[in-house]
Every structure is written in structure tokens, then in C-alpha cells.
Copies of this chain bind each other. A is one copy, B any other.
Amino acid sequence: MTLMTASADKPTTFVDDYLLYQLASASQVLSDEFHRKVKASGTKIHVWRVLACVVDQPGLMLTSLSKLVLYEQSRLTKIIDQMVDDGLVNKQPVAGDRRKMAIFVTAKGQDLVAPLMVSAKAHESKVLENLTDSEMTMLKRVLNKLCNLQT
């Protein structure tokens, strides 16, 4: 039999042994925890997310960035426009294709995101303290594997 993942004594309910629920739950619980700090610092969650991604991969065009950030394109367009207004990022036309816009972080955006990235890594470390080294390594490896299955 294949479905005996959880503790064998109590008959497992649906959601507790359903991978997509477990992923959503772990993601939400842990993210909410950190998001409280982000909000406390006066930054909106989506601004944090976008900045972290733009810093990570500067110069992406909107569509690619929307895949990285995991936000739908039209939503990201609106967020970016707002962030441009706020001086956090800028849109540069791409030479050779006048449709494309490359997104870069500004100095102001850098200043905003830098401490948050430090804080994010600190929070992550705290979370990971609860796992063994091998658990952590395997978790990250498996998560990456899962992400790259997308059909």
C-alpha cells in the first residue's frame, strides 16, 4: 500500500496527508511569520517580493519577472508602475524590441530591500534550526525538483 505517510495509528484525514495542502500550509505559516516583520517595517508584502526578485535577477522583462515573482502579468504591471512612481525600480526599454521593458532596482529600492533580505535570512536560519542538516539539504533539493516539474 502506498498512502501510509503519516503516523500509522490515527486514521489520517484528507488534508493532513495531502502534499498540496502541506506545502500551502507550510508556506503560509512560515511566510506570515516573516511578513509580520515586513509589514512592521512599513513595506507591503508584494513590494518586498518584487524587490527581492529584481535584485536577484536585474533586467528581466515583465513577463519573465512575473514568473519569478509568481504574480500574474497584469498584476505585476500595476505593481511595477506603482513602484516606479515610488522610485523603487525603473523600467528601461530593451534595445531591439520596443515591446519589452527591463526592470531594474533603484538605489532607493536597494536601500529598502537590503535590510529586509538580511532579516529574511535571519528568519530562515531560525526556522532551519529545527531541522537537521540532512533534512534541510534534502528539503531544499526536493522543493527545487518539484518546482521544475511544471507542465
Q: Which residues does A use to contact B, with CB under 8 Å? A: 2, 5-6, 13-31, 33-34, 52-53, 55-57, 68, 70, 117, 120-121, 123-125, 127-128, 130-131, 135-147, 149-151
Determine if B15 and A140 form an interchain contact, defined as CB atoms under 8 angstroms apart. Answer: no
Q: A20-B123, A22-B144, A23-B26 are in contact. List 16 more A-B contacts (CB 8 A).
A: A5-B137, A13-B57, A16-B56, A18-B52, A18-B120, A19-B124, A19-B128, A20-B30, A20-B31, A20-B34, A20-B124, A22-B140, A26-B27, A130-B149, A131-B145, A135-B138
Known: A13-B56, A131-B145, A149-B130. A30 touches B19 (CB 8 A): yes
Total copies of the chain = 2
Q: Which 10 A-B pairs have the closest CB atoms?
A: A23-B27, A22-B143, A13-B56, A26-B146, A27-B27, A5-B140, A26-B143, A14-B56, A29-B150, A25-B147
Closest Cβ of chain B to A73, distance in Å, is 14
Determine if A146 and B130 form an interchain contact, defined as CB atoms under 8 angstroms apart. Answer: yes
